A and B are shown apart, each in its own frame.
Chain A
Amino acid sequence: MRTSKLFIGSAICVAMISAPAFAADIYGPYPVTLKGYSGDKTNSVSYSGQVGRQLLHNSLKKAIGSGASLDVTMSYFNGSDGELPLLDPKSSDSFKVDVTDINTVSRTNLSGKAYKGSLPGWPGNMTGKEVLESMITNAAATEKGYDSTHGYDYVQLVSKFTMGGVFYHQACDNYLDEKMNADNKPNDKPYKDGAYYTGKEHSWDEAFGYWGAAAHGATLSPKQNYDITKKKNMRDADANGDGVVNLKSEMNYAHAYYAAGFDKGGNTNYYNTITKAFIDGRQIIADANGEKLTDSQRREVKRHARTICSNWEKVIAEAVFKYAGSVYSNIEAVKATMGGNMWQVSGSSAQAEHKAALRKYAKYWGELAGFSLSLHASGVNLGEIGVKMDRLVGMGPVMPDGTQVNGMSNGKFTVASGKSMDSFGVHMLKLQNLMVEEFGVEARNNDKISGISNLAEVLGSSDSAEND
């Protein structure tokens, strides 16, 4: 009897302690605080436009990869008035989603929000938006997005740079940056006329939508979050238990998915650090109760914004590090299929093997380039680091015949010849070093340089003033 009372008492205590902690790990709901609002809304959280763009991005990637026409791919980039079928994630028996037409989530587009600064790392001296348009256009002229002449995989290039050039750019160069200033989108006014949320509330929510985490993602492990995006984990995704994954709030997208992927390794905690900073910042805004944020509240909110953007940048740098390692490994794989002959591969099976290796090489370089271009889109000038990074990544992968895209003339790529894949491999090593030294990456997937630093550390200092 005494034991059972103790047990019940303990259970109540645990419930009392853990329930608020659990709630604090979920993004929303937050009350409507807008002064003078008389409608029936009770939750001020709204980021359906951003979820719409996440779905456009997912579908655009699928459309290019399946060889869709330019009209179709551009409809995912520019938006469409008619029905816009969701291509990814699609419902299956094991993973049911609640959307089939993206326009039912939000009638929106990617092009209007793409980075408008210039991108010297891509041929043609174009803005981020123009680069995406150019990539999508070029992709339509290839077979399923693969340009074997220049080694471009447009599926990856478009996808990875959309994540940076739209989502990361909008969140860190706009909503968490200038929109957190005192007079921009103030908290004592609606975000826009007729809105039920305040300027600061919605600005913060929009940035969260671009981040791409599920609202309950911070209550899950990195593997659970990762598996949600992979559509392997319906049970953990369906937070409200209604038997279907609500794509507005129960899905992980884009960089949030990559963060979970890196965190799975156990060395980092990007997903939770960023998501919890979003939750903490949003709570401060909600606690202001529709009043203008005080200077100290705004300082706190900006501190959370800095945490979000610095860690978000590291997530992208981790991806650059990872894919630099993949490109390095694939250079060796490509060379292995050539049997020492750098110009010609003979035999049909050898040729098939060689083509497959090149396809993979282009895929990884596409991911690398997409992520590295993204690092430019935060609004922070990377200066010398950005120049170094662009030069190491190159405007294209070095191909087995020694060619590499080095610019654009009259809308066509120009190539340099006489380049060495071996030297390009060294560039990848230097790129990994750069990500360690300048961005402090810690997950370090596909690490090709750790062997050296680990051995140097275990051998100890090489300075010696000892005779033998």
Chain B
Amino acid sequence: MIEWFDIISSELASQFLNPKKRLFLGYLLSASIIAILWLCLIKRHAFGSSIRAVFDRRIWFSRSSRHDVICFMVNRVLFTWLRPVLVTQLAVATLLFQLLHHQTLVPVGLFEDAGYLVAAISFTLFFFLFDDFTRFAVHLALHRVPVLWAFHKFHHSAETLTPLTVTRTHPIEGLLFTARSAVVQGVSIAGFVFLFGNQVDLLTIFGVNIFVIIFHGLGSNLRHSHISIRYPAFIERFLMSPAQHQLHHSEAERHFDRNFGVALSVWDRMIGSFHHSVDEKVSFGIGRETAAFTRSVWSMYWSPFRFLFRRIMRGRNAPAARRRFHQTNTV
């Protein structure tokens, strides 16, 4: 029992003390500073009111935020327990690396003479793009496949957004994200070690992926916040601003199924789901369903399974559980 308490408490602490994690205290601090500077310098708010706005009690202590905290705790405990049975990137990479030796098109060590820097830059860049694209693709699937949307509603049911909302994730979604991450890391590692040999490395700062540091250090936590930071229009065409992601959480139907991207917005432009940020107050949630879905934390965890059960029993006649996907391009 004490051992489990130790494991879970250290697991919880690592979320805030590990710079590889989005909720690392350093990133939360940088996000707070960026938010305050945004309000002071761009929105011309007084410093005091900016502070009050960033740390608005109505947001941070809302019922939705309290749900976020409970979900965060429950999920950490659940994943601490599940971790030993989850497929890891190491297993995927080892398997793929071995399988690659059975093909004859590309010889092993094709780019072994490329040198450390070329190998490291190539790997870091490839991993960033592949990782970001697959996050986008999985996110898209979570919205477009009814069964998956039933689980993703868990995240979208948040009525206030705080950095902790990022962990407001149904465990089934969590398993999907874990599988995606294991496959992406495994494929990247196996492919690059096969081609470049053991010299492949990741460009890091303080031991953390350089892109992760940049993405999180520049305020990725503000994506889930009430501070609507917008980028100039031409930048938003390439990089997803916090305001664009907040629009993704909008409960207004005109914003449904927009901006699935994470760091890059180019993927959304490719499939016509791109939307610039808007200079208007956006309210979050899943509309009329919000109240029923968030009746209790138990209900949030259980509802997707109820939908799934009904879906199995009634086939396609089950009530629609997903948002309509907009086909129009608003770029």
Contacts and interface: CB of A to CB of B under 8 A. Distances in A.
Interface of A: 332, 335-336, 420, 422-423, 425-426, 429-430, 433, 447-456, 458-468
Given A332-B107, A335-B107, A462-B178, A453 B90 contact: yes
Interface stretch (B48-56, B95-103, B268-276, B323-331): B95-103
Contacts of B10: none
B190 A462 contact: no
B209 A463 contact: no
Size bracket, chain B contacts:
35 or more
21 contacts: A422-B102, A426-B98, A426-B102, A429-B97, A429-B101, A448-B198, A449-B94, A451-B198, A455-B192, A456-B88, A458-B204, A459-B189, A462-B181, A462-B186, A463-B82, A463-B86, A464-B181, A465-B169, A465-B174, A467-B165, A468-B139
Contact of A456 (B83, B135, B189): B189
A423 B108 CA distance: 13
Given A452-B93, A465-B177, A467-B166, A426 B101 contact: yes
A459 B198 contact: no
Most buried by B among A420, A425, A429, A468: A468
A12 to B, nearest CB: 49
Contacts of A461: 83, 88
Interface string B72-112: 00011011001100101110011001100110100111000
Contacts, number: 121
A458 B262 contact: no
Nearest to B78: A465
A427 to B, nearest CB: 10
Contacts of B109: 332
A465 B171 contact: yes
B94 A452 contact: yes
A332 B108 contact: yes
B90 A456 contact: yes
Contact of B177 (A447, A459, A466): A466
A455 B189 contact: yes
Contact of B93 (A336, A423, A456, A460): A456
A467 B101 contact: no
Contact of B155 (A430, A433, A452, A467): A467
B239 interface: no
Contact of A455 (B20, B135, B193, B262): B193
B146 interface: no
A465 B167 contact: yes
Given A466-B167, A467-B168, A460 B20 contact: yes
B227 interface: no
Interface in B158-204: 165-169, 171, 173-174, 177-178, 181-182, 185-186, 189-190, 192-193, 197-202, 204
Contacts of A464: 174, 177-178, 181
Interface in B131-150: 135, 139
Given A451-B189, A451-B198, 10 more contacts: A332-B109, A429-B101, A451-B199, A451-B200, A452-B90, A455-B201, A455-B202, A458-B209, A459-B209, A462-B86
B88 A423 contact: no
Nearest to A452: B93
Contacts of B223: 468
B258 interface: no
Contacts of A336: 107
Most buried by A among B155, B167, B193, B201: B193
B182 to A, nearest CB: 4
B22 interface: yes
Given A462-B181, A465-B174, A466-B177, A425 B201 contact: no
